[in-house]
Structure 1
């Protein structure tokens, strides 16, 4: 059974891509998340990954983020702050906590 996950791509005012994610990211849907990350990457722009509506992410989600860490900015809610910090992701890329 797949965990519900909503993925939407768009562009910021400056033309930089944004991937907005809602729900939970775990092993059951991490391949969808990984594919959405790859599809949203645009040469010459950092991808903003908006996780403010994500309630849970596991190691499969973190692995997908780490694979593209040099090209990402992550925006997350306070619930995810500890996992993004403990995993070391916030040491490798910009992580902004909102909410």
Structure 2
């Protein structure tokens, strides 16, 4: 059974692609998550503020795309992103932070 995950894409006013994830990202739905990221050819902001669970399969997808990601995270996922080392490879900030330079 696939865990509920909603993915919505859009763009910031500056044209940067945004992918918003809502729900849980785990091994049952990482194919859809990876496909959504693969469909965006350039730099992408991934909004994880409404993700309630992220397992190692979801982290693997993020690591595979880390070179072109900017992550928006909340207090629930911040420790996971830091401990996994993903925060050392890409920009991670909270929803209140302004867009990073160059995005």
Alignment TM-score, normalising by the size of structure 1: 0.93
User: How many positions carry a matched residue from both structures?
Assistant: 96
Partner of 1:81: 78
Structure 2 unaligned runs (5+)? 97-103
What stretches of structure 1 move > 4 A for 4+ residues in a row?
none
Structure 1 unaligned runs (5+)? none
Q: Once the two structures are superposed, what CA deviation does each residue of 1:38-73 show, in whole Å capped at 9, x if it has no partner?
A: 11232xxx2000000100000111000000111000
Compute the displacement of 1:8 (Å): 0.4
Conserved 8 A contact 1:17-1:41: no
The reply on whether 1:36 has 2:36 as its aligned counterpart is yes
CA-atom RMSD in angstroms = 1.0
